[in-house]
Structure formats: C-alpha cells, structure tokens
A and B are shown apart, each in its own frame.
Chain A
Amino acid sequence: MSDDHVYLTLAEGHEDDTRWAYGTGFEDPLHGVHTTVPDDVDAAELAALCVALGDDALVSAQRLGEWVTRAPELEEEVALANIGLDLLGQARLLYSRAGQTDGTGRDEDAYAYFRDAAGFRNVRLAELPNGDFAFTIVRLLVLSSWRLAHFERLASHPDPVLSAIAAKGAKELRYHRQYAAEWAVRLGDGTDESHRRMRRAQEQVAPYLGELFTAFDVRQEVVADLKQVTDAAGLPMPVYRPLPGCGREGEHTEHLAPLLAELQGIARAHPEATW
C-alpha cells in the first residue's frame, strides 16, 4: 500500500462502493432502511421539511469547513470541522429521505449539487459569510440551539425515518450547542476587544433571527438557552430586527450563490464523474 497520497491510499484496493469521506456517488446512507411513509403522514410536506433541514445543515457544514486552515488554533479548527461533519451526515440522511418521499426518487447528490440558490430552503443566517470567530460562534450558538430544539420535537414525528434521524442528530447537536455556548461566555466575558466583537456579531445576526421562528415555533427553548449564555457572558439578549424575505421560500442573500458555486462546481463541470 502506497502512502504517497492519502486519497489514493484510501481508494486503493477497494471496490467502487467502499470509498471514504470524499467525492460523489456514495452509497445511499439509508441503505436497507424501511422506507414506507406512514398513512397519516403527508409525503410532500415530509419531503419539504427534510429538504429545509437538510439545506440548513449542508450550507452550515460548508461555512464551517471554510474555517479549516484559518481557525485561531488547531483545536478550534478540529472542532469546527467535526461539527460540520456531523451536519453533513445529517444533510445526507435528510436528502435521502426527501428523495424517497417527494416522488422524484432523487439521490442525495441531486439535492446537494444540482439545485440553484433559488431552490435552496435554508434559513439565511446559515449562508452569511463566516466573518470573524465571534460571528461564527454567535451564529453557531443560535443555529445549534434552534436546530436542537427542533430535533428534540421531531424525535416524536410520525415518520419513523425522520424521527430516527432527529433523535440521532439531537445527541450531536448537544455537543455543538455546548461548544458554542462555552466560547460565547469566554469571549463575552473576556477582554474589551472580544466583548466588543461579540456585541458586533449579535448586531449582525439580529436581522436574521425572525425567520427562525416562523413555521415551527421553538422560540421558548432557544430563548432559555440564549438567556443563560448571555447572562453568564455579560452580554445583552439579542434583539430581532425584521428583514423582508425568507430563506425557507427560496429568497436568499447574495452570499448563497457563490457558496454553492464553490460547493457544486466540480460536480456540475463533470456530471458523470465520481471521485
């Protein structure tokens, strides 16, 4: 076995279906899972929910991955990349479930690589550029607390596949929320400069908080988390500032299209290629 190139080494001596964590054309992550939609579940609504939650996760994972080689310390780079990997895994499961239930039979790659910005249903907060570390932490805190509250409720969804994805994801999201909360306290209660940056980040997320609480109301749980963190960090509670548009309806900021261009470029240039 050659170890000149890590990807070659991983690919060497394997059948096509045994590649690791890179490329396209993976085996379905729901392989062998019972896929029937229960009678009391509206399949189209279920698919739309899976796409929205999958898009939040994929776009967040892409932003978190951008920190690799740029994070303040190696430990934070590893943490942000790990959080992104969990979210990418959740996105794969959710897209696969969407493809089984929206009548198209699409695979996860079709959702990730072959939809344009207007087809994405993620909340706009997820697509904003990373900014500084303070912004990344404030956003991660809000999004992980919100997603966790969602997933804890969805764990009792009547669709057994979505409920299993949510129950599993909730365990991971607790670690994400904990990481962001501890950094928020450290930075808010840190130096004058770190406090100032946290305040600025809170201002920057303010216009994007409203759309988190439109359809599936978990405001109470999120407010409880944010209150606990801001009290310990010596920060004010974030304010909501209304902004027209809604990512859940495909109305995005100018930042999503360039993110997707980077994410989708190779898959679209070589649609038949696997790597």
Chain B
Amino acid sequence: MVTTLLDARRARHIAAQVPDPELPMLTLADLGVLRDVETTEDGTVVASLTPTYSGCPAMAEMRADVAARLRAAGYPRVEIRTVLDPPWSSDWITPAGRAKLAEHGIAPPGPAPRGGPVALVLSPTRHAVACPRCGSADTEETSRFAATSCKALWRCRACAEPFEYVKEI
C-alpha cells in the first residue's frame, strides 16, 4: 500500500514534468492540462489529459510524450485518458506557469468568464494587459488570434514591442 502511494506520487511527478509541445517553457502541469495521475492495483499508471482547445493539434504529441516518459521511468503499463469535462480553462494555468510565461515575453491571461451563456458585447472592453517586457500598461490588441489557438497578438505603445498574450477561456 505504501509502495503504491509512493509509486503514484513518483508517476505523477514524472508526468507533471513533461513540457508542453507548443509552449515548451511550461510543463503540462503548469498549463493545467494534466488532470490526474493514478496507479491501479495491477500497477498500470493512468494519466488523464484535457485539450486546451477542441482543435489543439498537439494532443497526440502530449499523449505520446507522457506515455514515453512514464515507460522510460520504469512503468511498463501506461494508459492515457482524455478528459473533456469540465473543459479546460486558462484559469488552470498555475502561478508558476504564469511566471514562466511572463519571463518568456508572453503575457499571462486574466480571469476567464464564469460558466453559463455569455452575451455579445460590442462596446470596447479595455482590460489592462501589462507589457511583459517593459511593464507598461499602455498596450493594445493587434489580433485576437495568433500562432497558436490559445494566444492573441498585442503591442506595447511604450516600448513598441509586439508580444503574445494567452487568451482567457
């Protein structure tokens, strides 16, 4: 029993260290996509992952990476499950993950809208996004869609640098 608990903890630690294929400064645990790691009675490690967006092209890569790392760490039986409910939220990016994003010039997200229907709002919504390079709040959105599904493009008016911003979802 004690061995199983220790084993589960070690397996969780290994899975948690796998980097995200698209934001490699973050681990899957930092990003909040690693939902659970448990070991069953026969020693199978079951790791549960959730996609960030429905079209996330990196899901297969993540599954393969987690399975490969666990096998390399001495767990021959690994099962990866996909969890869709509840859907991933940018709120699940950990404080450590947010700090790493900012360190790498990517502005972390603000709080995501709460559940339930969200009405269309056309009036400009000014939320302050601080420039991850110079810290100025004098920034503007240039495109709500960017190189990956989870990011938008912004520009700092103070230091004139463009930067990416992880969208609230």
Contacts and interface: CB of A to CB of B under 8 A. Distances in A.
Q: Do A and B bind each other?
A: yes
Interface of A: 14-15, 17-21, 26-27, 29-33, 75, 78-79, 81-83, 85-90, 92-93, 145, 152, 160-161, 163-165, 167-169, 171-172, 174-175, 177-179, 181-182, 185, 221, 225, 228-229, 232
Nearest to B146: A78
Contacts, number: 116
A20 B48 CA distance: 20
B142 A75 contact: yes
Given A18-B61, A164-B87, 9 more contacts: A32-B48, A85-B55, A86-B54, A89-B53, A167-B85, A168-B88, A171-B87, A175-B167, A175-B169
Interface of B: 48, 51, 53-61, 63-64, 79-88, 113, 117-118, 120, 122, 142-147, 149, 153, 167, 169
A163 B88 CA distance: 14
Tell me if A's interface is mostly helix, strand, loop or mixed: helix
A33 B63 CA distance: 14
B143 A33 contact: no
Nearest to B167: A175
Given A17-B60, A171-B87, A86 B82 contact: no
A117 B64 CA distance: 35
Nearest to A61: B55
A89 B122 CA distance: 27
Nearest to A141: B120
B120 A79 contact: no
